[in-house]
Structure 1
């Protein structure tokens, strides 16, 4: 195998970029006869119906300890990934879920692992969104195996429940081919954002675990690793149990960095990259030696630029966060914007909820929710129509809480082109770009960082989604764009790889 200058993660990112000269050749018509089913069905197992615990007529009994326990778990799963709408379609009905997914393909599956509680016996459970139920498909105690797979992560020592999210690769690859790997992890980030907030609504704390031995978790869940792979583990700490209130652990572990790889044909790149980003069971994963990126200052401080403070009053989510739960369940991706302006106060509120969680502790939200390494993610904002804010491209400095202008221009026409001709880019009032220095990130975490970066960007994107919907704004994520031209046109530093785009505006 030849030695390359770039790691497989960097190679994958470069190979899956969209370019104006080649995008037509890469576009293929969809084979509707091979359209994937976005649900996984289990023919055997004990079913636990969760619907009664979210139905209004049964809430009168929710103060009973048993009913309360079930209601909390039911609401957590429903707000994370439950079905929220059914849309008619010429082929099959489209079921929308609480977490957004590129193309409505929903590659993620959600599993619950129980150590064994009086109400939920030990074993493996599959969450079934279409029936809002749990299928207990394996009854043996597997908690020790989970701990082994997660290299004895501290969060699994005292917790009794854990969520594992997986991806069924073909569901996304059917439409997006090799580039689907990006979207799978963005979608997982959306889901993780929902899990984090749904936990807060139900007195749980989500402890995120990204460093695990993939092979062990795949075998634990009886997955066909060629078709489906474990993506993230989330230990659920019950905050009503004082023994489960403990400090945060390490969320990300490094993998190897692979620079020896053969020529990989199109269509095989996704699978090869996923295997290359795995952590082996015999890896020396010492979490005590992992130090997330830390800095007291924001990465970019451009000289002589206009600086706009963004500190503002936090969004009020209402009594017992009722507004947040309603927003999670009514969230929809916007299909068209009117082109009308936002106010600068609305933009500030969006940034505050997304990047300043410490301002929401009094409302019952986590002041420091788990990410893999948020310091690796940068944010740029292209402003086309925000009253009280000059048009142009800005760098958002989350520590200083200010926008720093780097380009002076209205970019509506360019954004239309950069977003592959999607009118969302042209008509949005503001477009946020999440970026990362991929070379530096790989140096710290190996090729597995590619997963972490996209999940963190998706997590941030989901917080933007929810804040925008609550403020009666339109919002939609975009995973398809001309990668290199974004940096060139907007003035974003060339080393910053564009990971995700979120458009925000007034709905048409």
Structure 2
């Protein structure tokens, strides 16, 4: 039996760690005949073609308000999760999307719920990214059911549209087995980052909801909870409608903390864990949701004694007129396959950190100055610097509130990073490697086992902002979800309580 004091989230995290002594024995050859299709298909339903509204000259719709509405929704969906490239691979075609996904498996599905507008009838729609269309698979008013499932969240009172993101478990589990849940949540975080920024481009404001009755949302979408599960709900406030300019609301609610669980066989841990992070039905009426987010801590978590402190304030990235360069970066984004080992400039690293962690600096460019996350107070950032001009090699803690780097180890870690990243040359040749971490025990005490979803989605969200800033600066960037967990802390000097969630490598592309 598992140790009784461990919650299921802690047990899952320990069970899915990579260790150099056991990883080789766990590896197995992939059954390519069973590779999942990363698209959802419906046997019935009616399609709404969005391709005519994605043309590059929006001025063509200047005198057609209906076409303008469709164009905004079309661009939002396309920039969030649309196909951006088709590549031949092993006799078939691989489709790349605007949001990155581990192994190109794309476990997330996007649904649109309409309350009923003059142009989009009430009902449920699945975003078919392969054809860039909306498939209506249920024509009926389901908005009240959505509100009930989300505990009557205030963001659903005035909005007319919502997006629901689900996870199709097998798409990632086929390759990554039980550890796939980490990647599923990270990939969802990438998507949430895209939705946030694509919404700013198209005059929407997504309000993130992570606290909902899972079974009710799954039933609403007619999905099989053994194969697919809801993971985020996002009411879309239309910023062109003054009544929908809403204050931020509650994004995260706690679940139970499960400590009494059976021995779970390998291969069944992922689904068991997801189902035991659900919020159950039984809470009636409206929750006492705060009108605004919980106040942020005024201090950064770590202030190591006698450490070197280096300011990171800088000139914000300019994203072009009407965010045209941001839209281009979303379209151009690719994961870099190899770096040439050349140094980055410190100004480049500062710009990346500024865009990712200082959104208040971009309000004059019409970006959200406080985009929704679940709880960024739980996420910490460490940076291993191996090749940044003007910055000594070593491991640094990034203090976002103070906007400074605090050095905790003096060493060039190229060889160690190569090992920690499972022998991937991206770790060895990167100029800087960013680690997102969280104190898992403390986070569970605050939000229950469901926090594991929140932590990884927030880390993926931050990672996507790093991705887009790097692409804009013509840098290489690639996220890594596979690493030797415990050895990262030991080698880099990261406090032992910090569980590593995600790694982003940065360098000059080869």
Smaller-chain TM-score bracket: over 0.9
- Three-state SS of the structure 1 residue aligned to 2:289 is helix
SS of 2:448's equivalent?
helix
Give the distance between the partners of 1:67 and 1:337, measured in 2 at CA.
43
Moved more, 49-58 or 465-474: 49-58
1:237 aligns with: 237
Contact 1:3–1:260 under 8 Å retained in 2: no
C-alpha distance in 2 between matches for 1:185 and 1:481: 16
Say whether the 8 Å CA contact 2:379–2:438 is kept in structure 1: yes
Deviation at residue 63 of structure 1 after TM alignment: 4.1
For residues 208-249 of structure 1, what are the alpha-carbon distances to aligned partners after superposition, in whole Å with 9 as ceiling and x for unaligned?
000000000000000011001101000000000000001111
57-66 or 388-397, which deviates more: 57-66
Structure 2 match to 1:263: 263
Quote the offset at 1:60 in angstroms.
1.1
1:28-43 superposed matches below 5 A: 28-43=28-43
Q: In structure 2, how many angstroms separate the alpha carbons of the residues matched to 1:331 and 1:63?
A: 33
- Give deviations 1:299-334, integer Å, cap 9, x for gaps: 000011111100101000010000000000110000
**Is 2:475 the partner of 1:473?**
yes
Deviations 1:369-422 (A, max 9, x none): 000000000000000000000000000000000000000000000000000000
Are 2:6 and 1:6 aligned?
yes
Aligned pairs for 1:145-224 (under 5 A) are: 145-224=145-224
Are 1:250 and 1:287, in contact at CA under 8 Å, matched by a contact in 2?
no
The reply on whether 1:19 has 2:19 as its aligned counterpart is yes
| TM-score between the two structures when normalised by the length of structure 2 | 0.98
8 Å Cα contact 1:53-1:59 kept in structure 2: no
Question: Of the candidates 389, 392, 396, which is equivalent to residue 390 of structure 1?
Answer: 392
- By how many angstroms is 1:90 displaced? 1.1
Please give the alpha-carbon distance, in whole angstroms, between the structure 1 residues aligned to 2:249 and 2:323.
Answer: 26
Structure 1 residue 294, shift from structure 2 partner: 3.0
Match of 1:497, SS state, is: strand
Take 1:62 and 1:492, find their aligned partners in 2: how far apart are those partners? 54
Query: Which residue number corresponds to residue 429 of structure 2?
Result: 427
Residues 2 and 403 of structure 1: is their aligned pair in 2 closer, same or farther, counting only changes over 3 Å?
closer
Instruction: State the distance in 2 between where 1:218 and 1:305 align.
Output: 49
Q: CA deviation at 1:460?
A: 0.0
Equivalent of residue 489 in structure 2, options 467, 482, 487: 487
After TM superposition, list the pairs within 5 Å mapping 1:74-93 onto structure 2.
Answer: 74-93=74-93
Q: Which moved more, 1:412-421 or 1:49-58?
A: 49-58
Work out the number of aligned pairs and report it.
Answer: 508
2:51 matches 1:51: yes
Map Cα deviations across residues 77-105 of structure 1 (whole Å, 9 max, x no partner): 00000000000111420000000000000
Q: Structure 1 regions of 5+ residues with no counterpart?
A: none
TM-aligned CA deviation for residue 56 of structure 1: 3.4
Distance 1:63 1:424 in 2: 49
1:453 to 2:455 alignment: yes
Aligned to 1:416: 418
| Cα deviation, residue 156, structure 1 | 0.2
Aligned residue number for residue 280 of structure 2: 280
Q: Which region of structure 1 is more displaced relative to structure 2, 3-12 or 168-177?
A: 3-12
Structure 2 gaps, min length 5 = none
- Partners of 1:333 and 1:10 lie apart in 2 by 30
Aligned-pair distance for 1:57? 6.4
- In 2, Cα distance between the equivalents of 1:191 and 1:213? 22
Choose the corresponding residue for 1:438, options 422, 437, 440.
Answer: 440
- Higher deviation after alignment, 43-52 or 159-168: 43-52
Counterpart of 1:462 in structure 2 is: 464
- TM-score calculated relative to the size of structure 1: 0.98
Q: Take 1:469 and 1:275, find their aligned partners in 2: how far apart are those partners? A: 37
Structure 1 residue 49: Cα displacement:
0.4
1-structure distance, mates of 2:103, 2:445 = 33
Does the aligned pair in 2 maintain the 1:317–1:324 contact within 8 Å? yes
d(CA) in 2 for partners of 1:496 and 1:341? Answer: 28
| Partner-residue secondary structure (3-state), 1:185 | helix
Q: Does the 8 Å CA contact 1:52/1:58 hold for their aligned counterparts? A: no
Structure 1 position 2, deviation (Å): 7.0
TM-aligned CA distance change 1:118 to 1:309, over 3 Å: same
- Pairs within 5 Å for 1:285-304: 286-288=287-289, 292=294, 294-304=296-306
Change (3 A) 1:2 1:191: closer
Report deviation, 1:61.
2.3
Deviation readout 1:317-352 (Å, 9 max, x if unpaired): 010000000000110000000000000000000000
CA drift of 1:58 comes to 7.0
CA distance in 2 between counterparts of 1:63 and 1:355 reads 39
Cα distance change of structure 1 residues 187 and 345 upon mapping to structure 2, 3 Å threshold: same
Change in Cα spacing, 1:462 to 1:2, as seen in structure 2 (3 Å) is closer
Structure 1 CA distance for aligned equivalents of residues 355 and 215 of structure 2: 37
Give secondary structure in 1 for the equivalent of 2:496: coil
Native 8 Å contact 1:78 1:132 kept in 2: yes
Question: What residue in structure 1 maps to residue 508 of structure 2?
Answer: 506
How big is the shift at 1:124? 0.1
**Separation in 1, partners of 2:296, 2:50:** 42
Shift, 1:354, TM fit: 0.1
C-alpha distance in 2, partners of 1:473/1:373?
29
Distance 1:442 1:291 in 2: 19
Change (3 A) 1:257 1:296: same
- Matches of residues 296-335 of structure 1 in structure 2 within 5 Å? 296-335=298-337
SS at match of 1:209: coil
CA RMSD of aligned residues (A): 1.3
1:252–1:372: 8 Å Cα contact kept in structure 2? yes
Q: Distance in 2 between matches of 1:178 and 1:287?
A: 36
Find the counterpart in structure 2 of residue 363 from structure 1: 365
2:79–2:331 CA contact under 8 A, matched in 1: yes
